[in-house]
Structure 1
Amino acid sequence: MVDLPSKARVVIIGGGISGCSVAYHLAELGWTDIVLLERKQLTSGTTWHAAGLVGQLRASQNMTRLAKYSADLYTRLEAETGLATGFRQCGSITVALTEERKEEILRQAAMARAFDVEVNELSPDEVKALYPHLNTDGVVAGVHLPKDGQADPANIALALAKGARARGAKIVEQVKVTGVTEANGRVTGVNWQSGEAQGHIAADMVVNCGGMWGRDLAAQNGVTLPLHACEHFYIVTENIPDLTQMPVLRVPDECAYYKEDAGKILLGAFEPRAKPWGMNGISEDFCFDQLPEDFDHFEPILEMGVNRMPMLAEAGIHTFFNGPESFTPDDRYYLGEAPELKGYWVAAGYNSIGIVSSGGAGMAVAQWMNDGEPPFDVWEVDIRRAQPFQKNRRYLRERVSETLGLLYADHFPYRQPETARGVRRSPLHEQLKAKGAVFGETAGWERANWFANDGQERDYRYSWKRQNWFDNQRAEHMALREGVGMLDMTSFGKIRVDGRDALAFLQNVCANQMDVDPGRIVYTQMLNARGGIECDLTVTRLGEDSFFLVVPGATLQRDLAWLRRHVGDASVTILDVTASEVVLPLMGPKAREVLAQVSPNDFSNDAHPFGMAREIEIGMGIARAHRVTYVGELGWEIYASSDQAAHVWESLMEAGEPLGLKLCGLHAMDSCRIEKAYRHFGHDITDEDHVLEAGLGFAVKTGKGEFIGRDAVLRKREEGLNRRLLQFRLKDPEPLLFHNEPILRDGKIVSFVTSGNYGHALGGAIGMGYVPCRTPGEKAEDLLGSTYQIDIAGRIVEAEASLAPLYDPKSERPKA
């Protein structure tokens, strides 16, 4: 007989390491009313067969924080629960076989220094000394992380479960959740089945930790959880005499990792093209199961492995393992509350890094559920980044065949996915393509990143140095600065907020003054209670009760969810109108001349000042012209209905030709915006960056009355700033900045670059980054009186620092 309560505060679905971690951390926070249901046995999905690598350095500071937390947790769990987790800090070594990979791992080593992770750079001889079994032919460099390690995944999950039970959580195996119940837009509980028995548990929240089953379970409630299982292969050798404990070894150029395991060697692979699995759903009785062997698929990896680790030639293969793991479209897992349904939480989709991630992920999601906000910025893994179309199974099947391999591919800057492309396109896609556009992808949108010249290859040639489009970017950048350029930014998220209470609602969620005349455009942020930035946007007042919000394409779902979360009983409608209009930014000193050729309207400063939007005639159509800029020049964003897009575009192209109008891509827009020190959400500003420390106090109007975050702004003004966002220009024009390069103040690492690009008008790479103040409210002259350098793959480069934009510091050009 199954003994289950009729109600609980939270039901966690899935007893892998992720579900056990969420249960453990909620119990640690004092929640007692916790039920975890596992359809078979704990760890029986993918946890039991995971390789158990615990690498602490991740792609960003906060993902590294989560991984370091996991390592600390697995160390203390053993003492707390008496269950061995098998966690050993044997260290890890990554070796490079190419100069490009060497640059990558040395940049990662620099990043480790910025994130306070112990790291050693190794010559090939030093690699050999640390790993004598390795054939070092072709090895050009290595990086050693002494505190990395390996662990026993199943035992960690069981220890987490034991710790959760000890604090009052109820964990029950052999109970399947058949559905999540809901009413009035929020979760009400779960239906369950166990053998012949079935029932319902009423609950305030559920957490989907269903792993590769998670997508189909989420889909029952209209929740988007884009993940798909892939086959993951490894072999374990027979026992090798006298084999001692060694560091985990990664040879990404050969798609392989090696770990010593109880006197045997485990060799695993992240091959460039993976095999998706479970296209027609995953069988009900799947439990501790393996997939059929496919030796032909694994053989090329094994051949390289025998060459790289000669002792494998002598060792017999004890186990050839093939098991499924879930992968996501961007190789990052999902945490947080689903935007579609209140109380429906997710922790799933770990892309083969579930063991190192789950400890920290469980802590983060538990704190988020407890406090109503995450412990720090986790936008990289936030479920709200998922696009509704991404739950499409054909899309996922195609994309995950690539994302598994990307784990060990070169992580070049600007790398674009190759599979599952072309899903979301601007109405002008074909016109741009005909003009030489080379497209990148963001949130499923195809966007022109740069334009190839006649006869030039229309493809990326990736590198850590200048890529093949660097000169194209320079030409586009200088057209925007000196002549006139046009972009297609149709991918901007566009939201209508209408209704009797629209103004009062926006006054509460936005920090700037929203009570402006119709036609006025307001640049603002939506803040959280800590004064952190939840959204960076412009709001145009169209009428008494009508407002038009423009947000980044990548954050649209997040921003819609934030708005809907704060509506309360206000009489407003919130509508996503992204697809209804194209956006054509026409920017540069000659923008006014181009518009004069296609429109009878007056575009003078008196008739159309900066920060105003109005309806205009254009060609034979009607559009809205918004006088704003993200490149820092005179210009207008032209909003035209999708049906008139081609006509408006052709009219502008024709009028611009005699004036040298150049089509420009996103890379040029980004290099222009960073010269102007315009912030980029997700990099320079996040929900844990205080709006005043981000230098955006000019967009905050505390005098207007109450709004979310106002108290935190007033407090910070009183206490003084603890850090400031600075702009940097490298004095050497050669090196490039991307992000995460360490910033040195007077010779000591104090921070890292949040975003970087090349400043073609300023003649060097430009970066942004927060620098801690030595005392709260440290004076600007003291902050700028220091010397600054930036560490680029171990090379220390002098940098000029500034609080004001290095380009057009008084912002005279947009108002010309």
Structure 2
Amino acid sequence: MLPTTAKAVIIGGGIIGCSTAYHLGKLGWTDTVLLERAKLTSGTTFHAAGLVGQLRTSANITQLLGYSVDLYKRLAEETGLATGWKMNGGLRLACNADRWIEVKRQATTAHSFGLEMHLLTPKEAQELWPLMRIDDLVGAAYLPTDGQANPSDITQSLAKGARMSGVKIFEDTPVTRIIVEDGKVKGVETAQGVITCEKVVICAGQWTRALAATVGVNVPLVSVEHQYMITEKVPGVTSNLPTLRDPDRLTYWKEEVGGLVWGGYEPNPKPWAQNGIPEGFHFQTLQPDFDHYSQFMEDAIYRVPALETAGVKQLLNGPESFTPDGNFILGEAPEQQGIFIGAGFNAFGIASGGGAGMALAEWVATGSAPYDLWPVDIRRFGPHHRSTDWVRARTMEAYGKHYTIAWPSEEMTSARPTRRSPLYGSLKAAGAVFGEKLGWERPNWFAQGEEPRDVYSYTRPGWFDAVKREHHAARTGCVLIDQTSFAKFRLRGPDSEKALSWIAAGRVERAPGTLTYTQMLNDKGGIEADVTVARLGSDDYYIVTGTGFATRDFNWISRNLQGDCHLTDVTSGLAVLSLMGPKAREVLQVLTPDDLSNQAFPFGTARTISVALCPVLALRVTYVGELGWELHMPVEVAQSVYDALMGQGVTLAGYRAIETLRLEKGYRAWGAEIGPDHTPLESGLGWAVKLKSGTPFKGREALLRQEAEGVKKRLATFWVDDPNVTLLGRETIYRNGERMGWLASGGHGHTLDRPIGLGFIRRPGVDQAFLDEGEWELEVASERHKAQVTFAPLYDPKGERVKA
């Protein structure tokens, strides 16, 4: 009989829902109910291929997938139900020089994250997978801890484990309504009755978008047809055959009952259910499309000649939910407290299932993720993702790129342009090559004689010289950067100072006209937001943050506010032009009657001035390490101000120059060097925290404990003297041959003509002597290079290197 109350209700009985139920049970949330509209696994889980790979570009997502492997190893023994888990390892092939560089970099990433990954010759790879042809191979990588599993068996085992903890599971119980009253989740409605609860967890796979939308929650995913073939037994196929990924031929392979399961990611995917998923669709697959699948056949037979004569059991066509960026979606919905999402698993739900369920359960139980999961956080999306047409267009492109080479700084091309600065046309005419962030078109670099398009490379990309030109202009003259896409909020109300002072770790209770760079911390001291705050009045604050963090930061701030104050997103009404460089003052002074001298307008000042007859909020701040102002203005005057500044002979610059400039100066970026897993003390930002003031703020107690006990990691700047080495981030850090961590980000410092990276040395007691007494190396594409390290910026205001 259906209970009338529960602590949490999970909707969906696939692997994600059952894993979440299992882990909530383990956390003591035994008063949890899982509702499945049909039978467990009947949505998309039952037809999943079941490959379990672990390596991702994020350390924490790799850790999450590693947790899945650890869980699957022991689950059968715990529950008594077999899972089909086999840790038979995984091979990844490379058929050309560029792919081989990518694979070698993936091996370095694996080493950085503590995964065992071996580079093999073609012959060594063939010894592990004797059926394949290798005459086109350059090399391969092998992860011995990868494996495969039976999706339905794992799900049933997780469900049994959940029941063993007291969780109740009801099949054939569709949810007809999620009940939200006065902005609060009250429960769910079914044909059998209502269950009241305060937490609803939607793990409904491809049905999640439509269900979540009924309570105003946006989940950007769409359904795509995904096919794979199951063969009869093939001579030579053994039960211990590793899983195989052949990305240059767009295919993957695994053993099953002496035969092969193989499929691929075609460049021209087929969307499904564009007008809605048919009623009663469960335990169903789609009509196989042999014509569409045939595009894989020639390449597949070339790789595995035995396939040509193998009997075919089935060509299985099953719809899966995919997302615009190829990452799954986890977390509490920003639009509605109490609604949690676990969906959009892009055909690797089995690999993710154990870890995603663990993370989502902890999120539900404690209010936060177990560690930083920003790459899959639902708050990474924005308002344009409410357009299903936009989501579908971008998702089709992401699906088609699943196995293509993941070039550094690669931009997507679909569903563009969507959000544009008022200066978009002027910038395009000036040679801008745009990138896209949260739907915004942003100038990445400017072509002057070069062809205005991105040419990607794992060494020196096509924009290298153009960015170098812009970089030097910022260091020696004056550049203008359109940063209109900045997320911009206004906090108003009589309790604004008190509320913001509690949330912000820095001193925001300063006089109107002042500017504060500050972090906002969680209770563990981790950095949830990294913002600039301008106090415009006694009860009026202007908050600026990065483009990609608009949803996340607005959500974090608004949910932690107390008292009589209100947060408003004002992003769309304001344009931003950043004027940076040693000549910025003389350029701007020509256009304004206001005194811009250092005495009248010091660093950290926020003041409305007149520029070219237009009102502009000028913020004296820099992210490039030079004199400069961010000029914030109503969109209707942006063109006038832009034209006036361009008339002073400034150089246009883009976001890729910002990145090279900030690395030389050692400026941190949220999502790379700083985030929820890093405190200001670990990140070298203790100077920005009001720790000694005695003023209470969120996260203060954690920082005091850390200050007393000492930090266990420290952020440092690394560089290599060879200018031909390419640092991208995730390169492994070694000291005296011992692994110490990895780079969070990397690039080329054009002032110094050296590759530079920022990364955490993950050891307690790291001080200057620890740096000086060690021999440091960076592993780059599986090769080690001698490196140097410092806590100080490599570039000072005079352009001198701090350490030779």
Query: Would the TM-score normalized by the shorter structure come out above 0.5?
Result: yes
The SS at the match of 1:560 is helix
CA contact (8 A) 1:513 1:704 kept: no
Aligned match of 1:314: 309
Shift, 1:389, TM fit: 2.1
User: Taking structure 1 as the reference length, what is the TM-score of the superposition?
Assistant: 0.96
The 1-side partners of 2:762 and 2:258 are apart by 47
CA contact (8 A) 2:714 2:766 kept: no
User: Which of 714, 722, 729 is matched with 1:724 structurally?
Assistant: 714
The 1-side partners of 2:612 and 2:54 are apart by 57
Query: Which stretches in structure 1 are left out of the alignment for 5+ residues?
Result: none
User: Which of 68, 77, 80 is matched with 2:78 structurally?
Assistant: 80
CA contact (8 A) 1:732 1:798 kept: no
Counterpart of 1:390 in structure 2: which amino acid?
H
The SS at the match of 2:6 is strand
Shift, 1:704, TM fit: 4.3
Aligned match of 1:278: 273
Aligned match of 1:754: 744
Aligned match of 2:237: 243
CA deviation digits over 1:416-475, x for unaligned, max 9? 112112111111111111111111111111111111123x32221211111100000100
Does residue 641 of the first structure (1) align with residue 634 of the second (2)?
yes
The 2-side partners of 1:321 and 1:790 are apart by 45
CA deviation digits over 1:212-231, x for unaligned, max 9? 00001111111111000101
Does residue 480 of the first structure (1) align with residue 469 of the second (2)?
no
Aligned match of 1:157: 155
CA deviation digits over 1:151-178, x for unaligned, max 9? 0011101100011011111111111111
The SS at the match of 1:749 is strand
Aligned match of 1:298: 293
The 2-side partners of 1:364 and 1:18 are apart by 11
User: Which of 779, 782, 788 is matched with 1:791 structurally?
Assistant: 779
User: Which of 578, 583, 587 is matched with 2:580 structurally?
Assistant: 587
The 2-side partners of 1:186 and 1:465 are apart by 52
Aligned match of 2:662: 673
The share of aligned pairs that are identical, in percent, is 47
Within a 5 Å distance, the mapping from 1:83-162 to structure 2 comes to 83-162=81-160
Counterpart of 1:538 in structure 2: which amino acid?
T
The 1-side partners of 2:772 and 2:349 are apart by 43
CA deviation digits over 1:499-529, x for unaligned, max 9? 0000000110001111111110001000111
Does residue 687 of the first structure (1) align with residue 685 of the second (2)?
no
CA contact (8 A) 1:230 1:274 kept: yes
The SS at the match of 1:754 is strand
Does residue 443 of the first structure (1) align with residue 441 of the second (2)?
no
The 2-side partners of 1:812 and 1:546 are apart by 40
User: Taking structure 2 as the reference length, what is the TM-score of the superposition?
Assistant: 0.98
User: Which of 179, 185, 202 is matched with 1:187 structurally?
Assistant: 185
Aligned match of 2:686: 697
Shift, 1:373, TM fit: 1.8
CA contact (8 A) 2:771 2:789 kept: no
- Equivalent pairs counted in the alignment come to 799
Shift, 1:729, TM fit: 1.1
Counterpart of 1:736 in structure 2: which amino acid?
T
Aligned match of 1:740: 730
Within a 5 Å distance, the mapping from 1:8-27 to structure 2 comes to 8-27=6-25
The 2-side partners of 1:342 and 1:694 are apart by 31
Shift, 1:321, TM fit: 1.1
Spell out structure 1 runs of 4+ moving beyond 2 A: 776-785, 809-813
The 2-side partners of 1:242 and 1:177 are apart by 48
Aligned match of 1:770: 760
The SS at the match of 1:8 is coil
The SS at the match of 2:696 is coil
CA contact (8 A) 2:221 2:322 kept: yes
CA contact (8 A) 1:23 1:164 kept: yes
The SS at the match of 2:718 is strand
The 2-side partners of 1:604 and 1:812 are apart by 25
The 1-side partners of 2:451 and 2:48 are apart by 42
User: Which of 202, 209, 217 is matched with 2:211 structurally?
Assistant: 217
Shift, 1:811, TM fit: 10
CA contact (8 A) 1:367 1:375 kept: yes
CA contact (8 A) 2:131 2:236 kept: no
Aligned match of 1:349: 344
Aligned match of 1:42: 40
CA contact (8 A) 1:57 1:64 kept: yes
CA deviation digits over 1:122-158, x for unaligned, max 9? 0112112221111112110100111110000111011
Aligned match of 2:533: 539
Aligned match of 1:710: 700
The 2-side partners of 1:406 and 1:24 are apart by 34
The 2-side partners of 1:811 and 1:577 are apart by 37
The 2-side partners of 1:399 and 1:372 are apart by 31
Deviates more, 1:34-43 or 1:391-400: 391-400
Shift, 1:782, TM fit: 2.5
Shift, 1:810, TM fit: 9.2
The 2-side partners of 1:290 and 1:778 are apart by 56
Does residue 563 of the first structure (1) align with residue 561 of the second (2)?
no
Aligned match of 2:596: 603
Counterpart of 1:554 in structure 2: which amino acid?
G
Counterpart of 1:458 in structure 2: which amino acid?
P
CA contact (8 A) 1:274 1:400 kept: no
The SS at the match of 1:487 is strand
CA deviation digits over 1:49-78, x for unaligned, max 9? 111001121221111111110011111110
Aligned match of 2:790: 802
The 2-side partners of 1:186 and 1:453 are apart by 55
The 2-side partners of 1:164 and 1:811 are apart by 60
Aligned match of 1:513: 507
The verdict on how the C-alpha distance between 1:810 and 1:783 changes in structure 2, with shifts beyond 3 A counting, is: farther
Counterpart of 1:797 in structure 2: which amino acid?
H
Shift, 1:615, TM fit: 1.0
Within a 5 Å distance, the mapping from 1:163-178 to structure 2 comes to 163-178=161-176
Aligned match of 1:255: 250
CA contact (8 A) 2:329 2:342 kept: yes
The 1-side partners of 2:773 and 2:659 are apart by 28
Shift, 1:624, TM fit: 1.2
User: Which of 325, 333, 337 is matched with 1:330 structurally?
Assistant: 325
The 2-side partners of 1:354 and 1:715 are apart by 39
CA contact (8 A) 1:528 1:708 kept: yes
CA contact (8 A) 1:232 1:325 kept: yes
CA contact (8 A) 2:500 2:561 kept: no
Counterpart of 2:473 in structure 1: which amino acid?
A
User: Which of 598, 617, 620 is matched with 2:613 structurally?
Assistant: 620
CA deviation digits over 1:625-672, x for unaligned, max 9? 1110010101111111011111111111112x2xxx111010000110
Aligned match of 1:549: 543
CA contact (8 A) 1:215 1:391 kept: no
CA contact (8 A) 2:475 2:626 kept: yes
CA deviation digits over 1:214-272, x for unaligned, max 9? 00111111111100010101111122245212111111011100111111111111112
